[in-house]
Amino acid sequence: MPNPSSFCAVVVAAGSGTRAGGAKQWRPLAGKPVVRWSVEALLAAGAAPLVVVGPAGDHDKAEAALEGLDGWTYAEGGATRAASVVNGLSGLGDAAPEIVLVHDAARPFLSEAVIARLLTALETADAALPALAVDDSLRRGVDGAMAEAVSRDGLWRVQTPQAFRRAELRAAHAAWMGAEAPTDDAEVARAAGRTVRLVEGDARLAKVTRAEDFAMLEAMVGMRTRIGSGFDAHRWGPGASVWLCGVEIPHDQTLIGHSDADAGLHALTDALLGAIGEGDIGDHFPPTDPQWKGAASDRFLIHAVQMVHAKGGRIVNVDVTLICEQPKVKPHRAAMRARLAELLDLPLDAVSVKATTTEGMGFPGRQEGLAAQAVASVELPA
């Protein structure tokens, strides 16, 4: 019998997600794309290889959603869920382990315990799936009115991942004779004469179906709020423009620095890194490294945003204050807010840019340089 501790996986993410507003598999949930939750869980449990099955032409979206993760490949989905699973099984290759878990990306909160129960069940069963008993009372409805009660005895709510022997599942799909496409792979296996074992499911394995489900599932995660602050300053030097909060402003001087010296973006980058406990901008982009000479500072901010997302975090809002006598910030404030909102993928009302002077005091008051301070609020999984 195959060793159930060695397994591969197919993550089905090829649906249109219309009821959830479209492309739900790539949308963020508690700071991470929906599909990433499942892929991370399966890879951490030892799935190798792993195939993500997505819509045709969405390979780049999968790359963005799973950035930094190794051990997965992409396959294009078919016209039905069953066709997508078959494509995913083909993508695993003939050398893949015999045990395969097929999982819907729309069920993001997959636990190691559920995976372990499925693999254990396959030591003695043809196939296995997680399920929850139906607890609610059931009624049949006729023309919008309640009719007779329906017994809930023996009824189960079926979840994924579902576990199979790979060759048997492929053969079962090839032999499917149903008039309509199957709703899941366990149905295919049972139609082929396989016994499907029920194992204990997980209430957290709820499915993202509608737009409102995102808020419900985020509440399951439990988030804690973290605050980070950042400060940066640069001296003035000869030049014809200055970069502030990602916007180039014509000016009779420029800020001097190893990169483009955008003090606003530097302070904000430090605020995000501080909120997640990841040091400061100098740790990630040392000024002694020549590759960052003259670099656009939006690269630094994007890196910090990606680090927040990699921790499952979500940026709530940011507030940047520029401290200077010149240039005048107000005429450019709307453009700065729009640029920050774009870089952070935040609504405009979650981005604040302000400016103040020091009434002639200190180095900003003497117009020797410009300073910026920033505060960022981030939610991280508890």
Q: Lowest-pLDDT range, 18-32, 318-332, 359-373?
A: 18-32
Q: CB 90: neighbour CB atoms within 10 A? A: 13
Q: Which domains does the chain have, with CATH numbers?
A: 7-221 (3.90.550.10), 223-381 (3.30.1330.50)
pLDDT grade for 326, boundaries at 50, 70 and 90: very high
Distance, CA of 71 to CA of 50 (rounded, Å): 6
Highest mean pLDDT range out of 149-163, 233-247, 298-312? 233-247
Q: Do the Cβ atoms of 163 and 199 come closer than 8 Å?
A: no
Distance, CA of 367 to CA of 34 (rounded, Å): 48
Predicted confidence at residue 20, as pLDDT, reads: 46
Q: What is the DSSP string of 258-311?
A: SS---HHHHHHHHHHHHHTT---HHHHS-TT-GGGTT--THHHHHHHHHHHHHT
The 10s digit of each residue's pLDDT in 95-115 is: 999 999 999 999 999 999 999
Whether 5 shows a pLDDT value over 70: the answer reads: no
Predicted confidence at residue 149, as pLDDT, reads: 87
Whether 19 shows a pLDDT value over 80: the answer reads: no
Q: Lowest-pLDDT range, 130-134, 190-194, 290-294, 326-330?
A: 290-294
> pTM (2 decimals)?
0.65
Distance, CA of 248 to CA of 347 (rounded, Å): 22
Whether 1 shows a pLDDT value over 50: the answer reads: no
Mean of the per-residue pLDDT values of the chain: 92
